[in-house]
Structure 1
């Protein structure tokens, strides 16, 4: 009768019995002693810590590691909707492992904080603390369980939590979280804007935004809910807390920082510039001509400015000014400065840094972006013989001129004419592919005496129909020729030599910024010897 009553009993009775069995199972594990792996993880011996059988209704088109051997990306295509989805695959945990992980978070965090000042590898420290806590618990764990726990602890303490796998993906340029319980979108090199399976709950998202601000050394609160700053790895972040300015809740956007800065060879490989355009910019930079790179968001203007700055002659004094750290030069005589924002009156603005920069007697001043009163000081620096590079948000040459001459920048027209070269970049399309291209390279010619307007001419222009670049005559090159005392044939030979040099590096695959800068320095030291070496090499270069 008791057995019959139990079989027809209510759900609560069965649930209580299941809880007892689970408790007995866990107790048996504890009483059996601890078994903690002492060797590094080896999939052939320990078993996989992550697996994935695919998404129902999707065709997997790509799969690659993000943080081997713990996390990988699975790119899937929905044939009905004709769209891709980015699926992050991480180790799965059973209920016992989740409970153990929850306890470990609290018990491991404090010892790690105390060890933070000790000069030791963070991975070794975490491994030691994790092993010590499991031995202290007396829990029996399999090696793959140990490494699953290790992954999630390391992801939280040293990584970026839920988005850590995405931050490991070199193909992702930026991440966008628009609110709680919404999928994070990524901009992928191959699949452009793509939805991921990563999201945050409401309270969890706000905590994460606060954590990002703290890791960047900034404060964010309901009274000060918007912060623009830089992560320790150099990535730019825009944070919004709560619903003060973003009604859907906290949000963030991360523009990832490239571990290796782009070089002119990278710009050449991606088709952003032609060989002829890069040789032109190189000669202009060496001849102390001032440049502005303009374009819309994500057009690549800062990347291009950073890349062509590698043409700066060695030992020239370079000073960079930014509000968020993005520029990275492999240059010996380089002074980097960044603005400081505080809640009190001790802010240090770009205007302050630019005024201070002039006292350092730099030969080249590179300003991350001009948008206000610092522009007048920048153009004053141009007028006093300092070579300056900067970026602006604008989609055409005329828009750049209009922005410079009107509120809130208000640079007088006679000062604007001290600018030599203006490069406008776009994020456009070539066939089915989104591409970054130098739409126009223009030369500022001065003020027209009849109309009073600022004159300019386009030296190079991008034709989107056949994805090619077209060139026109250049007054700036003629000006450089006269300054250098060259004949017309000497100018042509110099441009041709630089094109051959860049093509040589491209065909040799020299795109690492250290090797590229070293080769440019060799060219500056003795260009004739370098060209002779190119002639002797069995490499197909244009004559």
Structure 2
């Protein structure tokens, strides 16, 4: 097959000659024919030929294969025994030379009509299919169903998708996508095979055009004078763009941190071993008791994911405000106000500090801040000291590092104010059993200022043992504080923790990982815990019998 660019068209002088020839043939055919009718039937793998074919890569052993866009695209994971590494190969429909030339003309002829269609009134996919049928009938080209769907796929991925990156954006196993420059393979972080090289790469101009396109999709502008952009795609994915060679000598580059369509729930954290049910029951009780939290960790440790999941324990109808640089948090909560900063608008910039000051006037019960890194931290801790419950994240790999960052430049929170923080959750991307795992390394409690040393005092309530991959309970003073605040006896406290652990295990056993269902179940527990536990006991007893 001849070399193809992103839109599937043949490149080079041979391609230009072939394209000129096919256009002449199409024009003659159109004059000779009164037109043709495209009679399309829905693709059925039992009746139609497959749209994609793949016989394997020489020298590689295929270890996994899965669809990302049925019936157009699947992924083949291969292993190179000599290099001892995996390779991510994208398999898409193969075009004949004539189909590739035809596709090139279709791009030019369909682009305009699509732009002038009513995007609100029309279904985008149906609009594209209608335009494709109309152009083929206009050309007088007789096509098979398989040929039509192959052409449709490449038109769709360019006009409504992400071009050759589209299969990677559809892959639910991918967390990050990195392109370090032109003529270099794109790398991805796969949830099973970790960092892996892909079969996707870009030529220099093709990559520059794609970076500009990504910026435009996000409503931003990137240029040689302003070559670096951090923004968010319409689906919520975070992107970092660099255009040209001004700041990236290899050429244009981009990184995409994909946004999960379905946010993680506490049950997902249990299933992945990030925490155990004892820690979750402790955190649930702390959140209900209006304790303030900070989730710390390094890059890709999953701290924001964990904070979002733990936030699903928020009491129903409580007033919640979230403040972020880029949209990542997703709650199923009735009384939730989401706010995002606006940057690079001259004097009209709206910073996280501005949003946080504004949030306090909304009288929230809970304030969730995407990440604190500067002057907004002072306002956040002022909010804590005035009785607001706050959650936030920080880049730090230990409890002491969090404290050092808070007390020093550029944050500079006075030590007495730090004592209003109740819990520090430190999460790591570590290794256990030869695999990379995300774990809550430490859950610590801030206890106040040591009168002898003047230093901030804290204790580790839970700690992760990487050798056994287990969590150790090291005692909690905060639980005693909660017990006194609620007027519970020691047995009341232990019974409440036991019930919540049982409730969480029940949801795990029943695979309640949808965030809407999970939140609904938690709300039922808030409404009538006794009734919920009775039903769980009845179901559990019935299963045992």
Equivalent residues of 2:41, 2:145 under 8 A apart = no
* Cα pair distance change 1:72/1:373, threshold 3 Å: same
1:27 offset after TM fit, Å?
7.4
Counterpart position of 1:73? 75
Counterpart position of 1:337? 339
Tell me how far apart the structure 2 counterparts of residues 19 and 447 of structure 1 sit (CA, whole Å). 77
Equivalent residues of 1:35, 1:141 under 8 A apart = no
Counterpart position of 2:140? 138
Equivalent residues of 1:64, 1:74 under 8 A apart = yes
Tell me how far apart the structure 1 counterparts of residues 521 and 473 of structure 2 sit (CA, whole Å). 27
Tell me how far apart the structure 1 counterparts of residues 543 and 483 of structure 2 sit (CA, whole Å). 25
Deviations 1:314-333 (A, max 9, x none): 00000000000000000000
Equivalent residues of 1:36, 1:143 under 8 A apart = no
1:540 offset after TM fit, Å?
10
1:101 offset after TM fit, Å?
1.0
* Cα pair distance change 1:328/1:74, threshold 3 Å: same
Equivalent residues of 1:504, 1:541 under 8 A apart = no
1:350 maps to which of 343, 352, 355: 352
* Cα pair distance change 1:291/1:483, threshold 3 Å: same
1:456 maps to which of 455, 458, 465: 458
1:58 maps to which of 54, 57, 60: 60
Q: Which SS does the other structure have where 1:111 is aligned?
A: helix
Equivalent residues of 1:500, 1:541 under 8 A apart = no
Counterpart position of 2:209? 207
Give ranges in structure 1 of 5+ residues lacking alignment: 1-13
Deviations 1:31-85 (A, max 9, x none): 5653523222223333221111110111111111111100100011111111110
Tell me how far apart the structure 2 counterparts of residues 335 and 18 of structure 1 sit (CA, whole Å). 57
Counterpart position of 1:432? 434
Counterpart position of 2:3? none
Deviations 1:181-218 (A, max 9, x none): 11010111110101000011100101101110110111
Counterpart position of 1:490? 492
* Cα pair distance change 1:500/1:216, threshold 3 Å: same
Tell me how far apart the structure 1 counterparts of residues 367 and 48 of structure 2 sit (CA, whole Å). 55
Tell me how far apart the structure 2 counterparts of residues 158 and 484 of structure 1 sit (CA, whole Å). 55
1:366 offset after TM fit, Å?
0.2
* Cα pair distance change 1:158/1:539, threshold 3 Å: farther
- The answer to whether structure 1 residue 415 and structure 2 residue 417 are counterparts is yes
Number of residue equivalences: 529
Equivalent residues of 1:29, 1:140 under 8 A apart = no
1:378 offset after TM fit, Å?
0.3
Match runs of 1:17-416 below 5 Å: 31=32, 34-416=36-418
Give ranges in structure 2 of 5+ residues lacking alignment: 1-13
Deviations 1:128-167 (A, max 9, x none): 0011111111122222111111001110111111110011
Tell me how far apart the structure 1 counterparts of residues 146 and 365 of structure 2 sit (CA, whole Å). 57
1:453 offset after TM fit, Å?
0.5
Q: Which SS does the other structure have where 1:227 is aligned?
A: strand
Q: Which SS does the other structure have where 2:219 is aligned?
A: coil
Deviations 1:314-369 (A, max 9, x none): 00000000000000000000000000013421110000000000000000000000
Counterpart position of 1:10? none
1:22 offset after TM fit, Å?
7.5
Tell me how far apart the structure 2 counterparts of residues 114 and 530 of structure 1 sit (CA, whole Å). 55
* Cα pair distance change 1:309/1:19, threshold 3 Å: closer
Q: Which SS does the other structure have where 1:46 is aligned?
A: coil
Tell me the TM-score normalized by structure 2: 0.94
Counterpart position of 1:505? 507
1:224 offset after TM fit, Å?
1.2
Counterpart position of 1:3? none
Counterpart position of 1:4? none
Counterpart position of 2:5? none
Tell me how far apart the structure 2 counterparts of residues 343 and 430 of structure 1 sit (CA, whole Å). 46
Q: Which SS does the other structure have where 1:530 is aligned?
A: helix
Equivalent residues of 2:22, 2:98 under 8 A apart = no
Tell me how far apart the structure 1 counterparts of residues 357 and 246 of structure 2 sit (CA, whole Å). 36
Equivalent residues of 1:70, 1:91 under 8 A apart = yes
Coordinate RMSD, CA, aligned: 2.1
* Cα pair distance change 1:167/1:23, threshold 3 Å: closer
Q: Which SS does the other structure have where 1:390 is aligned?
A: strand
1:538 offset after TM fit, Å?
2.6
1:474 maps to which of 461, 476, 495: 476
Tell me the TM-score normalized by structure 1: 0.94
Q: Which SS does the other structure have where 1:457 is aligned?
A: strand
Deviates more, 1:335-344 or 1:176-185: 335-344
* Cα pair distance change 1:373/1:507, threshold 3 Å: same
Tell me how far apart the structure 1 counterparts of residues 18 and 543 of structure 2 sit (CA, whole Å). 75
